[in-house]
Amino acid sequence: MKKRCSLLTAFILLLISNLAIAQDFNENNDRWVKGWTNFTPNKTDYPEAEEKLPNIIMDHTYLRNDIVYSMSGDVYVTNGASLTIQEGTIIRCDHENPANLIISKGSKLIAAGSKAYPIVFTSSKAPKSRNSGDWGGIIIAGSGKVNTVSGNGILEGDFNPQYSVYGGNNINEETTILRFVRIEFSGNNGSNGLSLYGLGTSSIVKDIMVSYSGQDSYNIHGGKNNIQNLVSLKAQDDDYQISEGFRGTIKNVLAIRHPYINSPQGSYAIEIDGYNTELGYIKPDAITDVTIANATLVNLSDKTNYQHTTAAISTSNSAITYIHNSKISGFSDVVKFDKSYTSLAVIQKAFMMDNSFFNIHGKGITTSNTAINGALDILKYNRFTESFVGVNDLFNDPKSSIVPKFQLKKSLNNYMVMQ
């Protein structure tokens, strides 16, 4: 009798879990994308620039939305100054002398757009002629904690060493305020769309869209923060690269990839690195530990081109990752583990995914250590397609030029669940 009751209880719990999954995915939870994003930025006719930004900004500076600004070469904000940008401001970024905006440690970028009037950083080229990597990107150096031996680091790229140090002990620093910002056609010569170094907990990074980056869309080095509402559209390298002991939650994440747009080294929707092997780490228990919730990671692949895709997530150097309430589709596998994950027990402690859905054409999990058996069990209690389904057959309107829609055409109850 006790055995029968326990089986019944287990069945009821599993049924409740499955219903919870279906209910979450039937919700229309993509409203945050609407009203400020632009999924066809190469067709947008932005006004010509009227005023050029200086290459060194040492005093508090305010950019007004009735002026279109140009940015050429490396523009440094230094000496503890704040660069404040009014909502609706447009900054045209030089492609001949590729522009970078570098906020040095102790200085601040306050770019608070609004849903109706986002702030736009875009290429100086005319419509229909813009390309990935037309200009550099936005680089913000903070004083938050980074898990390196020295507790700091030097910005990636060929920047003035005087303004390139990041990291420190100011955990609660308000490093930056970014709201409703679009970054288009960036990612030139090693720069990423938006690079955040040593981000402090009082910073606000919310409602950001990076489109057609020639490198990573987002590159996060250390720091601690809860970030939300991020869009990455057709990056050549990774959509989200997270490393050097970053701690926090990234909520409401959209990554749209194309099977023919990849870097030669391989590109992932999310690449998580526990620590920087060149800089080392000072605390083994302070490696990168990130929770990603409400993510939609989609490669726009079908049965004619899916062989060009990689895993959706790459995790290395013992990084810890939790994926919750998310959709992964169009990739070869859900996650790829490097050699630092030496056993099934290590993998189970470092990676968890629940209440999610995936549609892939590979086995689901790949590991550098081929002797590890049973790793697929970490995907238990997630829904999945029995065989690979092309993007147009799976989702409602995934290639919309206005706002792509990634609601499943069929109810989740039509898909398999791992037990």
Tens digit of each residue's pLDDT (9 = 90 or more) over 129-147: 999 999 999 999 999 999 9
Predicted local confidence at residue 100, as pLDDT: 98
- Report CA-CA distances (Å) from 188 to 204, 319, 408: 25, 28, 35
In a domain, 215, yes or no: yes
In a domain, 313, yes or no: yes
Predicted local confidence at residue 24, as pLDDT: 52
More confident residue, 283 or 66: 66
Q: What is the mean pLDDT of the chain?
A: 92
In a domain, 2, yes or no: no
Predicted local confidence at residue 395, as pLDDT: 96
Q: What is the helix (H) or strand (E) element at residue 272, kind and residue range?
A: strand 270-273
In a domain, 10, yes or no: no
Give dist(CA 24, CA 326) in Å, integer: 10
In a domain, 14, yes or no: no
Residue 278 pLDDT grade (very low, low, confident, very high; cuts 50, 70, 90): confident
Token pair belonging to 76: 């440094």
**Domain span at residue 43?**
20-417
Predicted local confidence at residue 373, as pLDDT: 83
CA dihedral over 10, 14, 19, 21, signed as positive or negative: positive
Give dist(CA 183, CA 211) in Å, integer: 6
Residue 282 pLDDT grade (very low, low, confident, very high; cuts 50, 70, 90): confident
**Mean of the pLDDT values across residues 375-397?**
94
More confident residue, 45 or 11: 45
In a domain, 12, yes or no: no
Buried b (16+ CB within 10 A) or exposed e, 246-280: bbbebbbbbbbbbbebbeeeebbbbbbbbbbeebe
In a domain, 15, yes or no: no
Q: What is the number of domains present in the chain?
A: 1
Give dist(CA 217, CA 121) in Å, integer: 13
Which ranges of 227-385 would DSSP assign to H, the alpha helix?
344-350
* CATH number of domain containing 211: 2.160.20
Give dist(CA 121, CA 47) in Å, integer: 12
SS3 74: strand
> Could you report the per-residue pLDDT of 173-199, keeping only the tens digit for each?
999 999 999 999 999 998 999 999 999
Give dist(CA 6, CA 121) in Å, integer: 59
- Report CA-CA distances (Å) from 180 to 37, 117, 119, 124, 196: 9, 8, 6, 20, 16
Predicted local confidence at residue 364, as pLDDT: 94
Least confident of 235-249, 260-274, 278-292: 278-292
Give dist(CA 66, CA 48) in Å, integer: 12
> Could you report the per-residue pLDDT of 73-90, keeping only the tens digit for each?
999 999 999 999 999 999
> Is the pLDDT reported for residue 11 higher than 50?
no
Burial of 104 (0-12, 13-18, 19+ CB in 10 A): buried
Beta bridge partners of 383: 357, 417
Least confident of 2-16, 64-78, 87-101, 173-187: 2-16
> Is the pLDDT reported for residue 335 higher than 80?
yes
Predicted local confidence at residue 174, as pLDDT: 98
CA 86-88-89 angle, 5° bins? 65
Predicted local confidence at residue 4, as pLDDT: 40
Which ranges of 269-329 would DSSP assign to H, the alpha helix?
none
Predicted local confidence at residue 215, as pLDDT: 97
**Mean of the pLDDT values across residues 48-64?**
98
Predicted local confidence at residue 9, as pLDDT: 43
In a domain, 157, yes or no: yes
> Could you report the per-residue pLDDT of 390-399, keeping only the tens digit for each?
999 999 999 9
Give dist(CA 199, CA 68) in Å, integer: 29
Predicted local confidence at residue 6, as pLDDT: 43
> Is the pLDDT reported for residue 15 higher than 80?
no
